[in-house]
Structure 1
Amino acid sequence: MSTKAFEISASRFGEERTPFLSPKRVAELLGITMTELAGLTGIARNTLAAKSGARRVDTALSPIVRILAMAGDEQRAAIWFKHQPIPGWAGKTAYDLVREGKTDKVLAYLEGVRSGIYA
């Protein structure tokens, strides 16, 4: 996927009139609550909603949005993220790995798929 395609996809997750990502939009796409998103990102639920924590929230959401952008169109990416086991991870999904702090492993897997390693 080109950088431009990523920017277009990621821009859909933006907070209105700010340069930051919207936790609400990410949660809605994934079909999870803000409490579940807090657990996924490791950020307190109150911080997700607070304007003062926008920079920290943006940093926590960026890898998730990148994963979703790399995985394809939004709806299919959300389904894949939550339900499709990643080979080599004992039936764990991207959601499971991100929750365990292994976002880098999911990104590496997607880069491998994009490069043709895991076809």
Structure 2
Amino acid sequence: MSAQSLEITAAHFGEARSPFLSARRVSELLGVTQSELAKLVGVARNTLVAKSGARKVDLALSPVVRILAMATEMAGDENRAVIWFKHQPIPGWAGKTAYDLVGEGKSDKVLSYLEAVRSGVYA
């Protein structure tokens, strides 16, 4: 994925006139509540809505947005990427989905898997 396409996709997850990612937009895309999103990314629910926590939320949401951007590029459709993220078990992870792995703090493993698939390696 080129830096420019990632930037355009990441901008899709932000609020107008804000340099930070929007928890509201990410939760709407995933079809989860903000409480569920907070638990997924490991921050308090109040942190998601507090302006003072914007930088912390941005750091917490970044891996999810990167995974969704890469999955969208590969699937060709944002909705298909979300379905994959939430429901498709990743080979080698005992039936766990990307959603499960992100919730366990293993978003780097999901990104590595996507990179391998994009490079032509299928686990």
Query: If the length of structure 1 is used for normalisation, what is the TM-score?
Result: 0.96
1:101 positional shift: 0.6
The aligned residue for residue 10 of structure 1 is 10
1:44 positional shift: 0.2
The aligned residue for residue 44 of structure 1 is 44
Map 1:1-119; keep pairs closer than 5 Å. Answer: 1-72=1-72, 73-118=77-122
Counterpart CA distance in 1 for 2:17 and 2:79 is 24
Q: CA RMSD in A?
A: 1.0
Counterpart CA distance in 1 for 2:79 and 2:2 is 19
Query: If the length of structure 2 is used for normalisation, what is the TM-score?
Result: 0.93
Counterpart CA distance in 2 for 1:3 and 1:74 is 18
* Percent identity of paired positions between Structure 1 and Structure 2: 75
Could you report, residue by residue, the CA deviation over 1:46-97 in whole angstroms, capped at 9, with x for unpaired residues?
0000000000000000010000000013211111100000010011000000
**Stretches of 4+ aligned residues off by more than 6 angstroms:** none
Could you report, residue by residue, the CA deviation over 1:15-44 in whole angstroms, capped at 9, with x for unpaired residues?
221100000000000000000001001000
Instruction: Return 5+ residue gaps in structure 1 as ranges.
Output: none
Counterpart CA distance in 2 for 1:95 and 1:20 is 22
Partner SS, residue 91 of structure 1: coil
